[in-house]
Structure 1
Amino acid sequence: MFSSKKKHLFLALGLAALLVTATGSQAKVEGDTIYMGVAVSLTGKYSTNGKNTKDGYDLAVKRINEMGGVKVGGKSYKISLIYYDDESTPARAAQLTERLINQDGVKFMLGAYGSGITKAMAPVTEKYQIPHVEGNGAARELFTQGYKYLFATLSTSDYYLREAVNLMAEVAKQQGKKPSQVRIAMAFENDPFSLDIRAGVTEDAKKHGMKVVVDDKLPPELNDMSATLTKVKALKPDMLVVSGHAKGATLVARQTEDMQVKVPMVATTHCDSAKIAENLGAAAEGILCASQWDRSLSYKDKWFGTAEEYAKLFEKEFNYAPPYQAAESTAAVLVYVDAFQRANSFDTKKVRDAIAKTDLMTFYGPIKFDSTGKNIAKPMVLYQVQGGEYKVVAPQRWASAKLIFPRQEASAKR
């Protein structure tokens, strides 16, 4: 039995006609509704990003259904999602995936939030040969296991903060220094996502000959970074790199301000979902943030229009600006819609093969999967908090503002 904490939420977004459940490899279709399953963190330490993920799915489903649904076999179908709360726990997510497949009859899965939870779910969907499209599990190891049914709309996590290291190397050259003179402090949560980011940062730091002077692991229940920041304050590195999900982004902004830790460049993940620009004022100024997506990018699709138009629709629906976790989740639903219609079928094998051949432009960016299920078409971007707003500063081709360096100049301008 599952506890009362389990939230089994049916989002019925279309009226079902005669109820007929498909059998065999066919998906669960009842009347004019195709059901998809989601185990996502509605409670627990990932609940903030879990809500972002859910909101992204819900907006996609609402939009698709408003536009007439999914056209398959000459008939239009609405999409409905069956949700369970994984409580931010990998083991629970795997259990719920089994339940969605075996008890609820779901034949198509959308992803959870987080690499650790996705890692627990992927063997289950692979065992049952259930297509599994996700936008929030970025760990490299997910795509080295030979999975044939797992696909990700996002860039893998080792690329999240590489751009910050390369940007630091460029700044050093502009200042007449060698990149090898740059000294880096790092602090990462001990989870697959953050450790992949560490791997990417250390690979590029080594490429430039940079010296790592602090290399800390953050505790799972992250409520304080003062131990790491005390070292940083004493050693005075040129750059501080942090990955601790939404809590880590909030803490690095707040505690560098409180402790008066002056670092010329600070780069982290999850700034937008943590809402550091909106909530922390001057403490957030100048911080660099890795992002899978930004509303200023010139991407466009037939469902939402431009990235900016998507953002405005999201804000109207949920009353907050969409972080990339929401956008990449919406994109996962669009991948399914495109694959259903190209396959002209709800047969799981045919849909899986159609997903594998995806070559799609969306408001979120281009989506094209390699043989491992990774999206190889979309680049990462890096933005900086400037004047209480997130401004894209790298790569140069996508930049909407110039980098403010050192970080303290951004705080002073505020």
Structure 2
Amino acid sequence: MACAAVTAGLVAASTPLPARAEAGPSDVVVGAVLPLTGEESRVGTYFKAAYELAVKEVNDRGGLQLRQYGRKVPVKLVIYDDKTDPATSRNLYERLAVQDRVDAMLGGYSTDLVQAQTVVPQQHQIPYVGGGGAASAIYKRGFKTIFSLLASIENLAYSECDFIEEMQAQKKLPKPLKMAVVYENTSHGRDFAAGLQARAKAKPQNFQIVMNEAFDLHGKDFTPLLQKVKTANAQAFMSDAHLDDYITMQRQYAQAGLHHAYVTYGARGPEKSAREALGKNADYIVAASWWNQLIPNAAVKAFDDKWAKAYPKLNAEWYAALPYETARTLFIAMTETGSVDKAKVVETLRHIDIRDTVLPGGHIKFEADGQINAPFVVTQNLPDGRTVIVYPHAEKTGDAVLPVPNP
């Protein structure tokens, strides 16, 4: 099935309406289960706000134009709280499928939650589009109804390595760069470590791993781990962590008096809440992210403006932009399909090609496993609360300050 490229706006149906349109549903029921309480509630709250904003935009226009029914159909959004518990998340998606009889599902947040919940849409053959689970293990199970706007964590690691190589060419970082690698003990973290290991194996002249160790999620004391980092004689501290662990670990890193020429926490770094919590201790941290509001394109500026108007107290982060675009992608697919037929919507998603989106590169197209292969933007925190995009060149807004200055 070929699928014509569409822009990020919801497309008007180009196919003439059927002579005798079916009555169709009174609304399109879309469900999601999010961590609105528990350890991941901060990000879960953003996901809920983003989904609600995308649904409001559709319903303010009268709903989705579904040509099979010859009319616009409003969207009904059903959201449950999984309390950051994988078993609860899976059970609530089962409730969406069996009791609420949803037409489609939007994804939750956090690798362990998404990995558990995605069994349900596959079992019931319901289209599911997510923006909160990037670990490759989620998409290597052969599931056919699962789609994700988050590029893989291995690609995140490769993006940082590409940037590091550029800094080495400019003699801002040593070559080879000795790296202390620590990562959360999840498939997310293991993907990060695997990406760095693959690059170190392919380019030993650029990268050398001198420490490689996992840690448990939502930790309170990383002092023993950081003591090992201190004795590893590394030049780069390469951590993959969730937001709460990033804040805790970096605070303890600073308290221990550690210093490296290059410091990263994977996708974490420029978040407003983290910078407020860490102050100057967040300066010079490098991150590779699926989105940043500094990306210089019109779609990002438009999203940033509408988000600020809808939620003036919530700073636009990647976990606002990605779920918003996740919902829009589903709605574009349903509009292009022209009905709520689940198998047809899945087929549309499998071949969809959307341009001018808020993602880096502006392009949404899914790979055979359902995961997107999109570029990352590499950012660095600078003093006085500033953040700049330092890589790639097409998105760049400033120059990196490396090696990290001594305090």
Shorter-normalised TM range: 0.7 to 0.9
The CA distance in 2 between the partners of 1:158 and 1:176, in whole Å, is 24
Structure 1 residues 369-394: Cα deviation after superposition (integer angstroms, max 9, x where no partner): 12211113x21111011131221111
Residue 284 of structure 1 pairs with residue 273 of structure 2: no
**Residue 12 (structure 1) aligns with:** none
For the residue of structure 2 that corresponds to 1:161, the secondary structure is helix
**Residue 80 (structure 1) aligns with:** 76
For the residue of structure 2 that corresponds to 1:104, the secondary structure is coil
For the residue of structure 1 that corresponds to 2:405, the secondary structure is helix
1:89 to 85, 88, 92: 85
1:298–1:358 CA distance, 2 compared to 1 (3 A): farther
1:254–1:315 CA distance, 2 compared to 1 (3 A): farther
- Greater displacement, 58-67 / 134-143: 58-67
1:112–1:273 CA distance, 2 compared to 1 (3 A): farther
2:363 to 363, 366, 376: 366
Residue 223 of structure 1 pairs with residue 216 of structure 2: no
The CA distance in 2 between the partners of 1:178 and 1:402, in whole Å, is 18
Question: How far is the alpha carbon of 1:344 from its aligned partner?
Answer: 0.9
**Residue 115 (structure 2) aligns with:** 119
Equivalent AA in structure 2 for residue 321 of structure 1: N
1:335–1:71 CA distance, 2 compared to 1 (3 A): same
The CA distance in 2 between the partners of 1:273 and 1:58, in whole Å, is 22
| 1:253–1:287 contact (8 Å) kept in structure 2 | no
The CA distance in 2 between the partners of 1:279 and 1:198, in whole Å, is 27
Equivalent AA in structure 2 for residue 119 of structure 1: Q
Question: How far is the alpha carbon of 1:99 from its aligned partner?
Answer: 0.7
The CA distance in 1 between the partners of 2:172 and 2:257, in whole Å, is 27
1:225–1:165 CA distance, 2 compared to 1 (3 A): farther
Structure 1 residues 231-290: Cα deviation after superposition (integer angstroms, max 9, x where no partner): 223334111111120012212332222222111110112334463234322111000112
For the residue of structure 2 that corresponds to 1:366, the secondary structure is coil
Equivalent AA in structure 1 for residue 52 of structure 2: D
Residue 252 of structure 1 pairs with residue 245 of structure 2: no
Structure 1 residues 8-57: Cα deviation after superposition (integer angstroms, max 9, x where no partner): xxxxxxxxxxxxxxxxxx9xx752x2111111111122212212222221
| 2:269–2:381 contact (8 Å) kept in structure 1 | no
**Residue 382 (structure 2) aligns with:** 386
The CA distance in 1 between the partners of 2:393 and 2:145, in whole Å, is 35
TM-score, structure 1 normalization: 0.85
For the residue of structure 1 that corresponds to 2:238, the secondary structure is strand
Question: How far is the alpha carbon of 1:299 from its aligned partner?
Answer: 4.1
Equivalent AA in structure 1 for residue 372 of structure 2: N
> Matched residue pairs, number?
375
- Greater displacement, 188-197 / 157-166: 157-166
| 2:179–2:234 contact (8 Å) kept in structure 1 | yes
TM-score, structure 2 normalization: 0.87
For the residue of structure 2 that corresponds to 1:397, the secondary structure is coil
Structure 1 residues 178-205: Cα deviation after superposition (integer angstroms, max 9, x where no partner): 73x3110111111111211111122112
Residue 191 of structure 1 pairs with residue 206 of structure 2: no
**Residue 271 (structure 1) aligns with:** 269
- Greater displacement, 151-160 / 164-173: 164-173
Residue 129 of structure 1 pairs with residue 125 of structure 2: yes
Q: Matched residues, percent identical? A: 26
**Residue 317 (structure 1) aligns with:** 310
Residue 356 of structure 1 pairs with residue 350 of structure 2: yes
| 2:173–2:261 contact (8 Å) kept in structure 1 | no
| 2:182–2:212 contact (8 Å) kept in structure 1 | yes
The CA distance in 2 between the partners of 1:168 and 1:252, in whole Å, is 22
For the residue of structure 2 that corresponds to 1:256, the secondary structure is helix
The CA distance in 2 between the partners of 1:96 and 1:85, in whole Å, is 8
Question: How far is the alpha carbon of 1:225 from its aligned partner?
Answer: 1.9
Structure 1 residues 329-386: Cα deviation after superposition (integer angstroms, max 9, x where no partner): 111111111111111111111111111121102223310012211113x211110111
Which residues of structure 2 form unaligned runs of 5+?
1-21
Mapping 1:85-234, distance limit 5 Å? 85-175=81-171, 179=175, 181-209=176-204, 210-234=207-231
Which residues of structure 1 form unaligned runs of 5+?
1-25, 301-305
| 1:288–1:382 contact (8 Å) kept in structure 2 | yes
Structure 1 stretches of 4+ with a deviation exceeding 3 A read: 176-179
**Residue 10 (structure 1) aligns with:** none
The CA distance in 1 between the partners of 2:177 and 2:282, in whole Å, is 23
Structure 1 residues 56-85: Cα deviation after superposition (integer angstroms, max 9, x where no partner): 212211222223321112311222211111
- Greater displacement, 284-293 / 223-232: 223-232
Mapping 1:332-351, distance limit 5 Å? 332-351=326-345
